Structure 1
Amino acid sequence: MTTDELRVLGAADLVEFLALADADPVVNVFADHRARTTGLDPRWLGGEVWGRFVSGRLVAACHAGANLVPVQCDQESAARFAERAVQVGRRASTIVGPDAAVRQIWRTIDGAWGAAREERWLQPHLEIAGDPLVDPDPGVRNTTREDLAALYPACVAMYTEEVGVSPEATGGAELYRARIQQLIARQWSFARFDDAGEVIFKAEVACVSPYAAQVQGVFVPPHRRGEGLATHGMAAVVEHVRRSIAPVVSLYLNDWNHPARTAYERVGFTESARFATIMF
């Protein structure tokens, strides 16, 4: 008899969960990173990871914390996790992951979480597993604690432009500053500064597994765009990350961001999936 069970995963499920994520390790880098750094302990997750088991085998999962992230979900699994999300109520500020799974989750939730602030569909997911195709900017380097005063305003500007709200809204400045400091300490923050000390390119690594690193927060200030800073800056980031952090570099972006897509393709990134993001 076939059994079909949904339950919260724990430390005893870690090996099986990582094997599931490894079915598409670059796409699943966020969930892989969260599992390895927390051991699937809800106290460290700040939420839960749900698993769907069919005949005792883990076939799909869903990270349910600040982000709701489907892992290896077909349409049926995505719908099942969405039903659970309706039951527990909205805890996440975003739903993000492969486009087809996110669409199914959003259809199943069907208003139970209230209206979304923004829906972003068919976001190209890009990756590079080799040397960049253009010369890296030699001025791009790991940032240090001494750079924080110049770096932090650039991070706030990028976040506000990308997400549509400031990370400092509703008293979030201290938490956001701590996150930037954490990335600096991990040597996951990269930037180039001009002679006056202004950030003219920056990017961060958001999450890492043995297989991949996902880049976020790519930013060039508006008055310096069109100079190739993002293209050669990202080439430098790819070199730094592949040398010291992970063998594959990935990111995803909005489908309407044609200048960024062009810059990444010049570096050598190729599309490997489509993501979607629902923001509340």
Structure 2
Amino acid sequence: MLTQTTTRVLEPSDLPAALAVLHRDPVANAFVTSRVQVAGLDPWRLGGEMWGWYEDGMLASLCYAGANLVPLCATPRAIRGFADRARRAGRRCSSIVGPAESTALLWRLLEPNWGPAREVREHQPLMVTDRLSDTVAPDPYVRRVRKDEMETIMPACVAMFTEEVGVSPLAGDGGLLYQARVAELVGSGRSFARLDRHGKVLFKAEIGAATTQACQIQGVWVAPEYRGRGYAAPGMAAVLRYALADIAPVASLYVNDYNTAARATYRKVGFQEVGAFMSVLF
């Protein structure tokens, strides 16, 4: 019988132990690790709580509980503990996302209380590479987005998000949080785009998470009128070149399994499937 003392909300003093857990899987944990390295474990700065699961007095598993609920290096016993805490707290997140096996178990335990979900994406291949392609040359026109180009990049970001997630990021707070996130990526030099001759975004992508060990590419998008014309692979090769040269020795991404065109593009650029994520969208 699990007890409430098995899990607890971590405190700033738990940071070294939490980072030790996160570093066990630097690729899969990159999103949360990047936030923790910047904000620590203070819930206000982190944007959510970090729950810890202890076995024999040692921190063994984690679960980030913010806008997303994310199990990290979580064993089945830890997942049950996290599910119990999540049920008691009530749903505050817009999605559950993480490694497919642990996320699937967490959702099975929470669905009776939190369901139904708006959409469940059970298998999203996790793809990784540590080198540039020998066959795809980077698009020389893909570059970092400048800080004075927010009005140029935002419509493309909104279009990508709406197409990918199924709801607009401008809903709710009018898009303030989303615009702040886009501005953060632009300001840190992790937003990339190619513009057409009219100054409209043709291709774009971001390095959404970055640690010293791995980074995660996200938001890959080609304007509808330019799709099927060979811009995606060279664009991705260009972003990958920036990622490996300036950010981290390993680049990753995860993609919907039904997006066969995107998966083929990523394989062409050199990414290989090493696992799978799962997302539950509310």
Q: TM-score, normalised by structure 1?
A: 0.96
CA distance in 2, matches of 1:105, 1:177: 30
CA distance in 2, matches of 1:49, 1:154: 32
Aligned residues: 278
Match of 1:272 in 2: 274
CA distance in 2, matches of 1:207, 1:85: 25
The secondary structure found in structure 2 opposite 1:13 is helix
Deviation above 6 Å: which 4+ runs of structure 1? none
Match of 1:39 in 2: 40
Q: 2:219 aligns with which of 202, 217, 220?
A: 217
Q: TM-score, normalised by structure 2?
A: 0.95
Match of 2:61 in 1: 60
Q: Which moved more, 1:22-31 or 1:254-263?
A: 22-31
CA distance in 2, matches of 1:173, 1:18: 31
CA distance in 2, matches of 1:108, 1:158: 31
Q: 1:75·1:100 contact (CA, 8 Å) conserved in 2?
A: no
Deviation, 1:196, is: 1.1
Cα offsets for 1:127-171 (capped at 9, x unmatched): 111123311000000001232222111111101100001111233
RMSD: 1.3
Match of 1:156 in 2: 158
Q: 2:206·2:219 contact (CA, 8 Å) conserved in 1?
A: yes
Quote the sequence identity (%): 46
Cα offsets for 1:33-87 (capped at 9, x unmatched): 1211111111212221011111111111100111100110122211211111001
2:110 maps to 1:109: yes
Output the amino acid matched with 1:190.
F
Listed as ranges, the gaps of 5+ residues in structure 1 are none
Q: 2:128·2:251 contact (CA, 8 Å) conserved in 1?
A: yes
Q: 1:132·1:238 contact (CA, 8 Å) conserved in 2?
A: no
Q: 1:132·1:239 contact (CA, 8 Å) conserved in 2?
A: no
Match of 2:258 in 1: 256
Q: 2:6·2:81 contact (CA, 8 Å) conserved in 1?
A: no
